[in-house]
Structures are given as C-alpha cells and as structure tokens.
Amino acid sequence: MHAHDDHHHDHSHDHDHSELSETELRVRALETILTEKGYVDPAALDVLIETYETKVGPRNGARVVAKAWSDPAYRERLLQDATAAIAELGYTGRQGEHVVAVENTPATHNMVVCTLCSCYPWSVLGLPPVWYKSAAYRSRTVKEPRAVLAEFGVTLPADTAIRVWDSTAEIRYLVVPMRPDGSDGLSEDRLADLVTRDSMIGTGLARSPAEIA
C-alpha cells in the first residue's frame, strides 16, 4: 500500500467535471444503439444499473460509515479488519475483498486514488465515477491534493495533513469521513443519509444534518 503526504501547492486546473455529463450522453447513445439491435434488454439493464447505483453501492458504504459513527466497537473492528466488518452487514462481492478503512480526523484527511480502473470497492461504493478512473485525477491528487479538493468544493484547514492512498488490485480503501456536528441523536438510517460517495473516496465531506432536513 502507498500513502502520500501533502506538502504541494500547485494550482493547475485540468480537472474537467463536464466529462461526467458528456460521458452520460455517450452511454445513453450506446444503450439506444444496442437496444435497437436487440443486443440489450432495456429492463434488465435498468435493473443492473439501479442495483449498483442505489442498492449495491454508495448506500451500502453509507450504512457502514453510519454504524462506525454510532457503534464504537464496530468502528474498531472496521479499522482493524474492514473486509470482515463490512461482511458483518452482508456487503460482499465484486471488488469487495481486501478493503482497508482509513479514518478522517481533524488532523488528517484521507483521499483515495487508483492505479488501475478495477481498484474500486463496488460492494460499498457502487459504480466508480468517470473522474476517478482518469489519469489526471490520480496524478494531480498525488501532486496537489489541496487543489483537487478545492475543485470539489472542499477547503481544509492549513494544519490538516492530507494522505493519498493508492488503491491496488490487492488492497482497496474506504474513507470514513468525520461525523458532522449536530448529528448526535440521529438514527443509523439518518446518519447514512449524511454520507456521500465522494466523502468515502475523500473528495468530499459528509453532509450536515441541515442539508438533508
């Protein structure tokens, strides 16, 4: 496993979020062509996409984080052996093996990049976003994590260290974001609503309770 500490302050701006919508259009066009030719059953495709986007995916990871926030014993198990702790909740399967959980604190913020496109824990994060698989995201996050975070709308205190973890085919990472202020007393289901996919990659923060009120 590899971790990189942040002490770089470059301000390049080649991280293009417009790629997301453009790619979505291309996917829909391809889906239309394949459907018209009879190669794809639209209903089956919809079920597959919906499963990975909502059932298998970020919602699963959000429940893992919510339980870690509310159950100190589970949090310890998650940080010691994330694969086993995640399996306790029934989340296993594709790319869900050999997961390591890293916890954000006021002193340290964690981000995850991937050497290969396959290094993504689908069972807890769902489908990988397009930007996560780009070479630009990986290279820039290692060199200038604060600049990349700023483009995602995240500004951290100057004294917060940033560690960048390089996910591989052998080890995949799940970031446990900091629990937001004002979330005391919320149920695990409500806490899970505060957890975003990006916060579990490290490019975002958990939502505040006011954002989901």
Answer yes or no: 119 catalytic. yes
- Smallest CA-to-CA distance from 64 within 177, 184, 183, 210 is with 177
Answer yes or no: 114 catalytic. yes
Residue of 12, 18, 21, 114 with catalytic role:
114
Answer yes or no: 12 catalytic. no
Amino acid occupying residue 87: A
Residue of 12, 18, 70, 118 with catalytic role:
118
Residue of 18, 21, 70, 119 with catalytic role:
119
Residue of 18, 21, 70, 117 with catalytic role:
117
First CA to last CA distance, the chain: 39
Answer yes or no: 187 catalytic. no
- Both tokens of 93, joined, read 């399967």
Q: Which amino acids are annotated catalytic?
A: 114, 117-119
